[in-house]
Amino acid sequence: MRSLLAAVVVCLALAMPASAQDATSAVTNAATDKATEIEHYRLNNGLEVVLAPDRRVPKVVLDIAYRVGSLNEPPGRSGFAHLFEHLMFAGTPDYPNIDEAYGAIGVGINAWTFQDRTLYYAEGLSSAMPAMLALEADRMANQGLAIEQSDLDIQRDVVLNEMRQNVLDTPAAAGWEAMRSALYPAGHPYHRQVIGSMADLEAATLADVQGFFATYYVPNNAILTLVGDFDVADARALLEATFALVPR
């Protein structure tokens, strides 16, 4: 169910025209035949926002999609987008342990890396929404600056083990990679594996990580989608008090 909800959230975010500045539209909920007002606008720092209130269940889903994936990686740095996905959970001065911070408010989290985007997902009770927004705004503003060499070493080992277990030693994954490589010839951005190569990952430096964050993990390169039990005016006010303060 969580995966399905995440897919719906992502589709809502990506279906919106990138040029829209402030728009409201209505979609019909098949289960209730009631129209849900969707607001789509940008904060002053360029962050694209999609708000889709649904008051039937006291839960909210927060999705942040950064427009960066494996196709943005420079030569010799394959797997970097996925590595940085892991590093986004390393913690900041205000939130030293991201998993514990979310666990304390009963919120489930996950993340995925694709060829052209990286997604961060959180789902919890609507009462946790202010804390969720504050935490994610802090990560957007501070995570890249807070990463240390020890964080890079730990998460690089995690990704390398993930590669061994889920790609190199898995026949199904090997078959998928062979099919993908055949569909997208050498030189195509989708030809390379999202998880990258061991040699490139081992060569990544702390300066690489900090540069990646400064380039791609900025508000004007992201879409924030909020779906669930909330008042639109309250959500807008919370976004102004959190994400709107993150510099470009």
Q: Sketch out the chain's domains with CATH numbers.
A: 2-245 (3.30.830.10)
Q: pLDDT at residue 67 above 90?
A: yes
Q: What is the pLDDT of residue 178?
A: 80
Catalytic choice (37, 48, 73, 85): 85
Q: State the Cα–Cα distance between residues 214 and 140, nearest whole angstrom.
A: 10
Query: Where is average pLDDT lowest: 22-31, 123-132, 136-145?
Result: 22-31
User: Do 97 and 91 form a contact (C-beta atoms < 8 A)?
Assistant: yes
Q: State the Cα–Cα distance between residues 122 and 175, nearest whole angstrom.
A: 31
Question: What number is the average pLDDT over the span 213-236?
Answer: 97
User: What tokens were used for 89?
Assistant: 């959970």
Q: What is the pLDDT of residue 58?
A: 97
Q: pLDDT at residue 233 above 60?
A: yes
Q: What is the pLDDT of residue 163?
A: 83
Of the two residues 19 and 167, the one the predictor is more confident about is 167
Q: pLDDT at residue 3 above 80?
A: no
User: What tokens were used for 51?
Assistant: 């708000």
Q: State the Cα–Cα distance between residues 90 and 217, nearest whole angstrom.
A: 15
Beta-strand relationship, 108-113 and 59-66: unpaired
30 in helix, strand or coil?
A: coil
Residues 6+ apart with CB under 8 A from 226: 49, 50, 51, 52, 60, 61, 62, 63, 129, 235
Respond yes or no: is residue 73 known to be catalytic: no
Q: pLDDT at residue 91 above 60?
A: yes
Scanning the structure block, which residue is given the tokens 């705004």?
137
Q: State the Cα–Cα distance between residues 233 and 222, nearest whole angstrom.
A: 21
Q: pLDDT at residue 191 above 90?
A: no
Q: State the Cα–Cα distance between residues 166 and 174, nearest whole angstrom.
A: 9
Question: What number is the average pLDDT over the span 122-138?
Answer: 98
The model's pLDDT over 156-183, given as tens digits with 9 standing for 90+, comes to 999 998 888 777 667 777 787 788 788 8
Q: Minimal CA–CA distance to 121: which of 1, 241, 246, 247? A: 1
Run of H or E including 126 = none
Query: Where is average pLDDT lowest: 96-105, 176-185, 232-241?
Result: 176-185
> What order do you get walking across the sheet with 35-42 strand by strand?
22-28, 35-42, 48-53, 222-228, 59-66, 118-125, 108-113
Q: Minimal CA–CA distance to 184: which of 90, 71, 81? A: 71
